[in-house]
Amino acid sequence: MTPPTLWPLQSVTRIRRAWGGSLKYSGGRCIMYEYIKGIIEDIGTDYIVLEAGGIGYFITATGGTINMCRVGESVKIYIYQSVKEDNISLYGFASAEEKRMFLRLVSVSGIGPRIAVQTLTAVSVQELAIALVTGDTAALTRVPGIGKKTAQRMILELREQVDNDELPSGDFKAAAAADERCISEAVGALTALGIPQAEAVRAVKEAASKADTAEEIIRIVLKGIDKF
């Protein structure tokens, strides 16, 4: 990923006074932008135009961000700046939490800013967090531009980065990990009985929604052993 543009402090001070945004400092220099406060001037299907300090910023935004905006209203939009050789683009988010999840997404190989925005348009931060923690590749592949391999890579790289406050309850992550252990134990036991692994995985996933323990899953699968 191309690093963001760094600006001298004296230049940033003048810019900051002009439009009232917040800037992150690092080693005596500054990364633009953290957020911009301004007035919504235009809204499109995948963008907003935000005026601040007499400048109109064209910002590609998530669906949730666009839905909360109204022309003429004052808003605070969290910003990610993408800098390429021939283009500088701004991406906007209604909350710091949404931006934080976006930053995780673009850290994954094969996911650029536009796919990350599409992902957060298709699913909420909480829905995405749940999919990552539970390893739900089916939910992730429903997002345009995300295939099975990319979904698996997302889960592998981001699962441990999900915060508890992004999940339905504080113990959700622990519960999801326990469910995964049950499934793994059940598959191992069934393959030890001679059931092919692919068939065991399929049967266990079907039975998991009806049981709370590995033993119960195994019992349900063995009752339907004629399927094998």
Backbone angles phi, psi at 164, to 5 degrees: -60, -35
Domain C-terminal end among 94, 127, 149:
94
The candidate with the shortest Cα–Cα distance to 21, out of 83, 103, 76, 101, is 76
Domain C-terminal end among 68, 94, 120:
94
The CB-side HSE value for 43 (13 A sphere, CA atoms) comes to 15
The per-residue pLDDT for 163 is 78
Q: Which residue has the tokens 């692919």?
A: 198
Mean pLDDT of 73-82: 95
Out of 112-126, 139-153, 171-185, pick the least confident.
Answer: 171-185
Based on the fold, state whether residues 135 and 52 are members of the same structural domain: no
Terminal-residue alpha carbon distance, the chain: 48
The per-residue pLDDT for 19 is 44
Mean pLDDT of 15-38: 58
Based on the fold, state whether residues 120 and 82 are members of the same structural domain: no
Please report, for the domain that includes residue 40, its CATH number.
2.40.50.140
> Could you give the maximum distance between any two Cα atoms of the chain, in Å?
76
Please report, for the domain that includes residue 149, its CATH number.
1.10.150.20
pLDDT at 73 over 70: yes
Based on the fold, state whether residues 90 and 100 are members of the same structural domain: no
Whether the full predicted model's pTM is greater than 0.75, yes or no, is no
Mean pLDDT of 186-212: 74
Number of domains in the chain: 3
Domain C-terminal end among 63, 94, 125:
94
pLDDT at 7 over 80: no
pLDDT band, residue 117 (cuts 50/70/90): very high
The candidate with the shortest Cα–Cα distance to 5, out of 83, 109, 119, 98, is 83
How is 196-224 classified by DSSP, letter by letter? -HHHHHHHHHHHHTT-SSHHHHHHHHHHT
How many CB atoms within 10 Å of residue 195? 20
Strands 55-61 vs 87-93: parallel, antiparallel or unpaired: parallel
Parent domain of 195:
172-227
- Tell which phi-psi region holds residue 35, choosing left (phi > 0), alpha (psi between -120 and 50) or beta: beta
* Cβ–Cβ under 8 Å, residues 32 and 47: no
Backbone angles phi, psi at 78, to 5 degrees: -75, 140
Mean pLDDT of 119-136: 88
